[in-house]
Structures are given as structure tokens and as C-alpha cells.
Amino acid sequence: MTKASVGRGGRSFWRNAARSLWRDENGGEVMEYALIAGLIVVAAIAVITSVGGKVLARWQSLDSSM
């Protein structure tokens, strides 16, 4: 771990890196892809959470019928 990533100096390093990515056109595309990937992950977690209980109940029902 470098000195720039530790403590107060680490925050300014990451802030400067984010600013340079935001200003750069390629950085903007990377940010868009990161946001899309984040939304996909959140949606997947929501679907798995909502369906997980039903799947568990089905397996328990199958297990008890055997």
C-alpha cells in the first residue's frame, strides 16, 4: 500500500483520479459502464432476494415429501 492511499492524502489522490476520469471522455465512458454494471448487480440482488424464499420453500417441501 502506498503513502498516497493511506490517510488524508489518500482521499485527495482518489478525488483527483475521479476528477481526471470525469473530465476525460474515455473516463466518462468508463463511469457510464461502471454505473450500468452497478445497476445490474443491484437488480440481480433484488431478484435473487425475492425469489430465494420461494426456492427455499420449494426445496424444503421436496425434502419433507421424500
pLDDT tens by residue, 39-61: 999 999 999 999 988 888 888 98
Total domain count, the chain: 1
pTM value is: 0.49
Q: Judge whether 21 and 30 are in contact, CB under 8 Å.
A: yes
Q: What is the mean pLDDT of residues 1-27?
A: 66
Measured from the Cβ of residue 13, the count of other Cβ atoms closer than 10 Å reads 15
Percent of the chain with pLDDT over 70: 73
- Residue 55 has which C-alpha cell? 426456492
- Domain range for 37 is 3-65
DSSP 5-42: GSHHHHHHHHHHHHHHHHHSHHHHHHHHHHHHHHHHHH
DSSP H or E segment with residue 4: none
- Dist CA 34 CA 30 (whole Å): 6
